[in-house]
Every structure is written in C-alpha cells, then in structure tokens.
Structure 1
Amino acid sequence: MADVDVSQIDQRVRDQVARRGLFLVSPDSNPTDGLAHDQRYVFVCKDPDPDDVGFTGVGHVSDGRRSQTYKLVFAMDGTFSMGSPSRSQVPGVCMSWEQGIMTVLEAFDRWSGPYRD
C-alpha cells in the first residue's frame, strides 16, 4: 500500500495535475529505496509507474522529518545537469499535501512553459 492515499488529495488539485498530463504517485516505503523512512512522499510525475519516479518526477512533496504538520517541497528548477532538469528544494514549507503539490505545479509551469488545455 502506498504511503499516502493520493485519492484523498483534493479533487481540484488532482484535476490541475491531470490538466498538465502529470500523475500523483506515492510509492510504498521500502528499506532499500534510499528514502528516509520517517517521511512519506507524493511525487508529481510524467509517468504513473511508482518504480520510475526518479526518472519521470518533476517534483515531490514530503512530510517534514517525524512531522506530519508541514511538508517540504522539491521541484524542477529549470537548470540542466547531464541532460535532465535538476530538482531543488523550494524555500519554506507548506502546510498540506495540496499546497505542496500546487507549488510543484507552479515550478513545472515556469520550467516547461504554458500548458495547453
């Protein structure tokens, strides 16, 4: 089971993700995946495969260490490293998964240009 049930994220936010042709993915915690185990993650990806989030992710939101009251946000910053855009932490914190996801989408819009309906 995924760490975060993305179906519980506000439908309006999920609609904004879908309008951009992106997906929300929350992979299962796995002791060998290199992710911190006291955090939960929601990735905003170009592909819905939870095993591919590192390659298709445009950003992610995670719980703060041992805290479920705030979220840390990482998003593509538009710079390129070895042919791939790099991910940088967005300054500050968000108070909800929805707010964090919308922050990732704002960075995606800046990096990728306007999306089409």
Structure 2
Amino acid sequence: MLAQVQQDGASIVVGPLLKNNVEALMKSNTPLNVLALNQPETVRSFPNICYFALSPEDEARDAAHHIYDQGKQSPLLLIPRSALGDRVANAFTQEWQKLGGGIVLQQKFGSVAELKMA
C-alpha cells in the first residue's frame, strides 16, 4: 500500500492506527513522512515517522517522566471516579515508581461540581 501511496504522489501518510501495522510500517523503511496514530511496544526513532499515541495510559506514563525529570517529588493526581481514571492513575503510578519516585497521591472526583467543593 505504501508503494501505491508514494506512486500516487503523496508525501505524507496519516496512519496506521493498529499497533501491528505501525510495527510493519517501521520495518518497511518508507521514505514517506508518517504520522502514525499509535506507537509500537518499542519505539525507535526515525526522522520521517512521528508517533501520536491515543492511549491515556501512554499519556500518563509520559506525564510521569516529564514530572520526574523536573525534579518533582510528590505528585497529586486529580482523576475522575471511573474505570478510565483508575487506568490512568495505575499507569502513572507504576511508571513513577519504576523511575524511583515515591508515593503518588490521588483525589478522585465524580463531577465538576464535586471537584469545586473539595
């Protein structure tokens, strides 16, 4: 498909979405500029490929790295009281502790009004 896209004159590709297709794309050595809508398990740097992770867990892990790299020591997570909030908090906490950080405080909320009252 990449050969056809290039033959049609495209210089940039947005996609793929599925991780296994992103991994196949990395192995293809395409000269096209790519904005992949996911990232593989092991991210390798290519000058023409950018990864745009759609996973909230990936964003939480990136946030943990960013905050840790700034020398912060006591993060407080404000998260929705939901399965998604739990997933994000777990991903952040695991990454934070893997980096050598300590306790991660959490404050859950159910609505904006509840958050304002806290």
Category of TM-score, reference length = shorter chain: under 0.3
Larger helix share, 1 or 2: 2
Larger strand share, 1 or 2: 1
Normalised TM-score (structure 1): 0.22
Normalised TM-score (structure 2): 0.22
